A = this chain, B = another copy of it.
Amino acid sequence: MSDSNPSPTTQTDDRRAAIIDATVESFGKLGYYGTSLQRIATEVGLTKAGVLHYVGSKEGLLSLVLGEVYDRETLDIMAAMVTERRPLIADMWRRIVTVNAKRPALVHMFSTLSAEALDPEHPAHDYFADREHQAVSNAMNINWCVPDGVNVEHVLQAGFSMMDGLQLRWLRTPGQDLTTMWADCEDVLMPLPMWDGYR
């Protein structure tokens, strides 16, 4: 085959990928309001006009990174849990932590945007509100295997809250291992002997 392109529109896809990478980093560091098209353009070696050709507008940047990424892997984890014979909440969280530990830039962006988007007028407010609601409501559709007497919804709310807060701590101090930090949290969240055999 003389075709050196493994797939069509590869150059355009590369540009998009570069724009996504630069945007994830900048939204993480500076937030949506703090990020300028010029910064993204400089990072990927284009002019502002060049970037706008790809994303249409600044809000287009936001749609790009919110729609293209993050939740895909997490949703896969949830889907996998449904098919388990004996689904454990601790398993779900450990898998999420394992995935997130490998993508600090993405976690950084989501942490920053999540706080910025508390304001109802933020362009990503609804996205984060829906997301937060669905994380728990999706998880509530699984027939979790838990010790007698525990309130599953409360555990989920508490655990997701804890993970959000822990990720902030993880990102603030370099050199820490999220997996280890979560293991300590898990001991608190699902203490033995109460959760013995359930995690």
Residues in A lying within 8 Å of B, measured CB to CB: 28-31, 33-34, 108, 111-112, 114-116, 118-119, 121, 128-129, 132, 150-151, 154-155, 157-166, 168-169, 171-173, 181, 184-185, 187-189, 191, 194
Set of chain B residues within 8 Å of A30, measured between Cβ atoms: 33, 116, 119
Chain A interface helix/strand/loop/mixed? helix
* A154 to B187 CA separation, bound complex (whole angstroms): 8
Q: How far is the CB of A11 from chain B (nearest CB, A)?
A: 32
Closest to A29 in B: B119
A165 to chain B, nearest CB (A): 3
Taking the full assembly, how many copies of this chain does it contain? 2
Whether A116 lies near B115 (C-beta < 8 A) is: yes
Contacts of A181 in B (CB 8 A): 157
Q: Which of B121, B154, B165 contacts A161 (CB 8 A)?
A: B165
**Known contacts A115-B168, A165-B161, A187 near B34 by CB under 8 Å:** no
Nearest residue, chain B, Cβ from A110: B115
* Contacts A111-B118, A115-B112, A118-B112; A185 near B157 (Cβ below 8 A): yes
Which residues of chain B have C-beta atoms less than 8 A from A151's C-beta? 184, 187-188
Q: Smallest CB–CB gap between A34 and chain B, Å?
A: 3
Please, which residues of chain B bring their CB within 8 A of the CB of A189?
Answer: 158, 188-189
For A188, give its contact among B29, B155, B171 (CB under 8 Å): B155
